[in-house]
Structure formats: structure tokens, C-alpha cells
Amino acid sequence: MKTILTLFALILGASPALAQSKAINLNCPIGKEAIDQETFVEYQGHTIGFCCAGCDTKFLAWDEARKDAFVKTSLAAQQQPKPEPKQEPKEEQAKPAAFVGDPYLLETCLVSGKKLGSMGKPIDVEVEGRAMKLCCKGCIKKLKAEPKKYLDALDRQIMEQQAALYPTKKCLISGELLFEDGEYTGVDIVVKNRLFRVCCKRCASKVKADPAPAFAKLDAMVIEAQSKAYPLETCLVREKSKLGSMGDPVKRVVGMRLVQFCCDSCLPKFEKDPAAYLKRLDKKVTPAAQSHKHDGSSH
């Protein structure tokens, strides 16, 4: 049968390969199924495809009006724009939140020296990417006139607050000792309100470029150094909630100090006024613990 069809196509001036490439229909007019890409006939200059041998003969038996109608419908279908493939909406990937670091813990205005809150609600300002709190709007002008002076003062106070509890005598990046013959030889930097002690400016640059891993490493050291001597048995926020009563205590490091909570839901309350909650911890810390300096032997 295929030989007969091949001869028929040749007589009409079209090879089977050419007929296959020019079929005007996708589905067989007789069987209504997809054409088999093997069975074709030519009708009035158009190539008609069929799903199997036998359907071509039935098509040729149609009257001309019916065949003309099929050709017209098939050609019209070719002119219709092909529907764009449906694309699933792309899931928007949430951008990672900017790394925050430690909260601002200073309680006095760096410009006036007055206690924050003594002149109303403290003013939040940003200077060269650094957050700072002032006692009043009148201090803003002085701060902007000499930003380096006050940023240096901020760093000095943070270093003074945190140096005594720094948990290691080794560079956080290289692992090199920071003391030689009992003298400190390292470089102190403040990043995101946290003191870091490193051996050189190169290591300092690495901390500044990507502080999150350095924070995580230092946090782990602080937690290890301070967990056993932690002075509270209850949550820092919920004073009646015993640590461990709601699962493992939640541990955080703020300003080189370990703080513990009964659960995650206490963290937002702490973050609203961390300095106030740390005062409660201060009352329980012994003078010996406050002046503790880790010998760095395990780090």
C-alpha cells in the first residue's frame, strides 16, 4: 500500500519526505488521531497526512466540497498563532536580611555626655553607616561637624565594655597568639558594635568584609566560656520562668556577654531595651566574673 502511495506522491510531483514536511494537518481527518508521518496524499496542491494506511483512501472518497472544507479548516489553523508555553510563575527568592550584629548598648550621649533619656526619647542617627543614639536634636550638628571624633569615641567605649570578657588570646582569623611576653600585640576593631581582636590589618579586613562568620565563631567561644558560671537560673525576660522549663534555653551573645532565655518568644522583648535587661544580669554577676579574662588555652 505504501508503495502505491509513494508512486501517487511522485505522480503528483511530491516526494514522501517533502510531503511529510508540508502536511497542513496535525490530526487525521478520518481517525482524528495524530498523523503517523508516513501516510500522505496530495489534494489540490496541499499535503494531507493520516494516522494510518486506509484513512487516505477514505479521504479520497469524500466529495470535493467536504475535502475543500477540511483543507480550508487546516490552513486556517496554521495561521493561528501558536499559544505560548505556559510558564510557571517564578518564585521570588527572598533576599537575605542584612546582618545586624549587636544592639547599641551605650547609655550616655557621646556628644553631650548626658544620660540617654534624660532629655526625652533618644535620637537615632546614622553616621558613615554606623548607628548612634544622641540625647537630643541639638547634638546632631556637632556630631556631623566632627564625625570621626565621635565614632572613635564610640569604638573606645565599646572596646572598654567588652575587652575584659573577650574569650580568647588568639586571632579569630589566623589563630596566631595576640600576646608576646605578656604584651598585647594585636589589632582591635569594632564591627557591628562588637569588639574583634585580630593579629593584623589583613585579618581585620576579612572580618569587616564578612562579619557573620566571625560573629558566629566568637559567639561560640563566649557561650563556652560563660555557660558554666552563668548567674541566672531563670529567663532574663520572664523572671519566673526557669531555664530549661520550656526546652533547651535559648542562648545569645550581646556585647560579649551570654544571655539566656526560656524560649524564642522572649527575644523581641529583650531587643526592645537590651541595656535594661542587662542591668538585671549585672546585679547577679560577681566582681570576679566581671573581671574574668579567658586565658585562651582552649582556643
Each residue of 165-188: pLDDT tens digit?
999 999 999 999 999 999 999 999
190 and 263 share a domain? yes
171 and 144 share a domain? no
Identify whether 81 is part of a domain: no
Identify whether 93 is part of a domain: no
Instruction: State how far Cα 239 lies from the chain centre.
Output: 34
Closest-CA residue to 195 (of 49, 60, 181, 178): 178
Closest-CA residue to 70 (of 48, 41, 40): 48
Q: Give this prediction's pTM.
A: 0.64
Identify whether 298 is part of a domain: no
124 and 197 share a domain? no
- Tell which of 117, 132, 161 closes a domain: 161
31 and 44 share a domain? yes
177 and 280 share a domain? yes
Domain that holds residue 206: 166-290
- Tell which of 119, 145, 161 closes a domain: 161
Q: Which residue has the higher pLDDT, 44 or 5?
A: 44
Contact 39, 51 (CB under 8 A): yes
Q: How far apart are CA 196 and CA 135, in angstroms?
A: 28
Give the position of cell 527568592. 93
Confidence (pLDDT) at 279:
87
Q: List pLDDT tens digits, range 174-227.
A: 999 999 999 999 999 999 999 999 999 999 999 999 999 999 999 999 999 999
State the total domains in the chain. 3
The residues near 213 (Cβ < 8 Å, ≥ 6 apart) are none
